[in-house]
Amino acid sequence: MKKLFILCFSAATAITYGASACPGINGGSAGGVGVSATYAANLVVLAGVLQNDTGCNVLVTVTPSAQTVISNPNAAISYDSGNDDVLVGVVNNGSFPITSVTLSGTLPIFGFDGEGVCQPGWTFVGGGTPCAGATDPARYGGPGVTFSNISADLKSGVANFGNGGIPPGGTAFFSLEERVNSIVITLPTFPDHYFQVRYASNLTNGDSVINISNTGANGAPLAGPGFGAAAGNTCVNVYAFSPDEQLISCCSCLITPNGLVSLSVNADLVSNTLTGVRPNSVVVKLVNSGASAAFSGNTCTNSAALAGTAAFPLAPGLIATGTTVHAAATNGFAVTETPFGRSTLSPAELASITSRCANIIGNGSSFGICRSCTSGGLSASR
């Protein structure tokens, strides 16, 4: 599946090609036109290095919380003196690769006519060859960028980013023939989802347990955990809520590929609540993240407060089950075990739970920090 973010252009800032997501065209010509005087005047150069993304007429930034920010760092309507071609930069500060963007305009933005950014004849701030490795035959796409699904009227199409997409922390650039009106950024979602939710009830009548494993979706050591460097390690970030929506505890657990860890709700999640109150039922949310950007870390310190950032990117590979206590049909209580429900994590929810957890860690005087996982699984009745 893919998650779509639909937006229209307006204004803001972001990261780098040297110090700009796009190269800055400062001279030369292509297709019979030169550089726009306004565009060239708007380039900010410090010690020969382009600054503040001012090579980009349009900049699209994906934030760590999967929001999008659109800006016009170079306010010129075009980089060429014909006042039609625009340079677009994409900055990925999110947690997943960006594989493509869908573009549309009221004018034929794909009506390429030989004035693209990678057309021979342009010169760039700082010299060099920013288009080295570009393969777009029309020379409008930067390195790794190709175009597809171009409509018959040339007003819409798709820019594709090769080599697995724009990685977290990476950038790409391309040019278009006219100003674009809208863009759809596609981000992947995963069947073994990084966000899962479950409840546990009747805690005064018995314990509930949570068993969690790392499926190896992010890699694994070739010869096993005792040989070579760590690979595929994840942090499962745990957030426990009382029925009145208060976050009462949070913590994180390091899980290696194919490992199994467990939590007791009574002993680990509600024994040291922020409020000092032990609720009779809780909602438990799990957010899976990499143990470092390379999934090679051996600690999850503060990851529950930083999940979704570059240090702890959201990741697939989470599988979890939990038990809860129910009143039995006859006298007494019974225990049932079911998988956690795979859920949609909105940017607002991610920001809320991580910031509240950060406040617990920073200001709770150790209250509200749940005990971390223990190795191995727990049975339905402890």
Which 3 state secondary structure label does DSSP give 89? Answer: strand
In this structure, the dihedral spanned by the alpha carbons of residues 368, 372, 376 and 379, taken in order and rounded to 10 degrees, is -10
Buried b (16+ CB within 10 A) or exposed e, 209-244: bbbbbbbbbbbbbeeeeeeeebbbbbbbbbbbbbee
Sequence spans of domains, the chain: 2-188, 195-375
> Looking up tokens 């467990």, which residue turns up?
262
Tokens found for residue 139: 């020379």
Tokens found for residue 109: 């933005």
Quote the pLDDT of residue 329: 64
Quote the pLDDT of residue 241: 98
Quote the pLDDT of residue 247: 97
Quote the pLDDT of residue 66: 65
Residue 308's Cβ-count burial label (10 Å; 0-12, 13-18, 19+) is: buried
Quote the pLDDT of residue 185: 62
Q: pLDDT digit string (tens) for 69-116? A: 889 999 999 999 999 999 999 998 876 778 888 888 889 999 999 999
Mean residue pLDDT across the chain = 87
At 76, the amino acid letter reads A
DSSP run (H or E) holding 306? helix 303-306
Tokens found for residue 158: 């798709």
Q: pLDDT digit string (tens) for 246-293? A: 999 999 999 999 999 999 999 999 999 999 999 999 999 999 999 998
**Distances 243 to 143, 200, 203, 248 between C-alpha atoms, Å:** 51, 11, 13, 10
How would you write the pLDDT of the chain (382 residues) with one tens digit per residue? Answer: 333 333 333 323 333 344 589 999 999 999 999 999 999 999 999 988 999 999 999 998 887 656 678 899 999 999 999 999 999 999 988 767 788 888 888 899 999 999 999 999 999 998 889 999 999 999 999 999 999 999 999 999 999 998 878 887 889 999 999 877 766 665 555 556 889 999 999 999 999 999 999 999 888 988 888 788 899 999 999 999 999 999 999 999 999 999 999 999 999 999 999 999 999 999 999 999 999 989 999 999 999 999 998 899 988 899 999 999 988 766 778 888 889 988 888 888 999 999 999 999 999 999 999 987 888 776 654 4
> Looking up tokens 């794909």, which residue turns up?
110
Strands 171-176 and 86-92: antiparallel
Q: Give the CB-side neighbour count of residue 68, counting CA atoms within 13 A.
A: 22
Quote the pLDDT of residue 161: 93
Quote the pLDDT of residue 184: 66
Residue pair 216/258 in contact (Cβ under 8 Å)? The answer is yes
Quote the pLDDT of residue 381: 47
